[in-house]
Amino acid sequence: MNGPQLSDLPDESELLGPYVSSLRRRALQAGELSAVRTFSDGFLMKFLRARDFDVELSLKLLLNYQRWRRESPEISTCLSPSSVLGLLNTSYHTTLPQRDHTGSRVLIYRIAQWNPKDWSAFQVFRVSLMTSEIISMETETQRRGLKAIFDLQGWTLGHALQITPSLARKISSVLSDSFPLKVRGIHLVNEPMFFRPVFSMIRPFLPDKIKQRIHMHGADFQETLSDFFSPHVLPPEYGGEGPEIEQVCQDWTKQLLQSENLLQQIADHPTGDIAVTDGL
């Protein structure tokens, strides 16, 4: 069986056991993970599915993930939704209730709702990490990945000044080789001309396959977004027929707040046995 076929098997399939055991053995032997004494099956499965059950590539991704967490404590050690509740309450971010036609999760970020005088780029990035950790535990998301829509209306110099080269590298690492999620598409809408210098900082760190999945739609985005997303998936503000953006943002904020304890467990013990359902 090839990687995608293995990925479609249920976690408890006997065919997956050797891959999980092999990755666990390799991870426990890795010198830089010597402080970690156990890896749950669920934790390892995220990395195997993200790399289509290539154990060598899965191990590399796992090592990158652990290294990224160690090198980014200002982001990874605080996964408390209540700490950024003011930002969440602005309807800055949501995960849409409907998956797209390929089964991918669809995330929306609304830059106009982020006031850089109130919230640092690290806090904003932390919101993205919270969502990523939650949805990466969903079996269907492990298989089908995610697509993100960034609405850049309201982008200002104040936003741009927050994105340092160091942060740009951290963002690109998560998008490419340091997090167990398949990024299937990145869609930019309402992007102003002066966003391009920031994008130019991030772009060199991205692999070619991610660069090819970035789509710039401009201000006339509703027609072109429909080429990628069915109407029932998107809110009406983005040319769809789904629930309104304010409602879905409120719903996802509620979901994150309900996951506060779970997220703290992940922050404290990311390799542990933590379960979540696909009903999120």
Long-range pairs, 259-266, Cβ under 8 A, ≥24:
259/81, 259/130, 259/134, 260/80, 260/81, 260/82, 262/134, 263/79, 263/80, 263/81, 263/130, 263/133, 263/134, 264/79, 264/80, 266/79, 266/133
What's the CA angle centered on 247, arms 246 and 250, to 5 degrees?
Answer: 85
Q: Which residue has the higher pLDDT, 157 or 32?
A: 157
pLDDT value at residue 103 = 97
Task: Assess if CATH 1.10.8.20 describes domain 3-71.
Answer: yes
Q: Which residue has the higher pLDDT, 157 or 113?
A: 113
What gap in Å lies between CA 181 and CA 132, rounded to an integer? 8
What is the average per-residue pLDDT within 117-139?
95
Which of 74, 92, 71, 265 is closest to 173 using CA atoms? 71
Residue 235, CA distances (Å) to 93, 202, 216, 226 in order: 13, 28, 19, 12
Which of 186, 203, 125 is closest to 150 using CA atoms? 186
What is the share, in percent, of the chain residues with pLDDT greater than 90? 69
First to last CA, the chain: 30
Q: What is the pLDDT of residues 163-175, one digit of tens each?
A: 888 888 888 888 7
Q: Which residue has the higher pLDDT, 151 or 206?
A: 151
Which of 154, 147, 46 is closest to 96 using CA atoms? 147
Sign of torsion over alpha carbons 95, 98, 104, 110: negative
**What would the CATH number be for the domain defined by 76-261?**
3.40.525.10
Q: What is the pLDDT of residues 225-272, one digit of tens each?
A: 999 999 999 999 999 999 999 999 999 999 999 999 999 999 988 776
pLDDT value at residue 47 = 97
Sign of torsion over alpha carbons 88, 91, 97, 98: negative
Spacing of C-alpha 128 from chain mean position: 6
DSSP calls for 191-233: --GGGHHHHHHHGGGS-HHHHTTEEEEES-HHHHHTTTS-TTT
Mean confidence (pLDDT) of the chain: 91
For the cut 60, the answer to whether the pLDDT of residue 55 exceeds it is: yes
pLDDT value at residue 277 = 46
- List alpha helices for the chain, DSSP H: 3-7, 17-29, 41-50, 55-71, 73-76, 85-88, 121-135, 139-144, 157-162, 165-176, 196-202, 208-211, 221-225, 245-258, 260-268
Q: Average the pLDDT over each of 75-84, 140-149, 153-162, 202-211 and give the range with the smallest value.
A: 202-211
Domain boundaries, the chain: 3-71, 76-261
Q: Which residue has the higher pLDDT, 169 or 42?
A: 42
What gap in Å lies between CA 152 and CA 189, rounded to an integer? 6
Q: What is the pLDDT of residues 173-205, one digit of tens each?
A: 887 788 999 999 999 999 988 788 888 888 888
Q: What is the pLDDT of residues 18-29, one digit of tens each?
A: 999 999 999 988
Q: Average the pLDDT over each of 99-113, 129-143, 197-211, 232-246 and give the range with the smallest value.
A: 197-211
Q: Average the pLDDT over each of 74-78, 193-197, 214-218 and give the range with the smallest value.
A: 193-197
What gap in Å lies between CA 105 and CA 108, rounded to an integer? 10
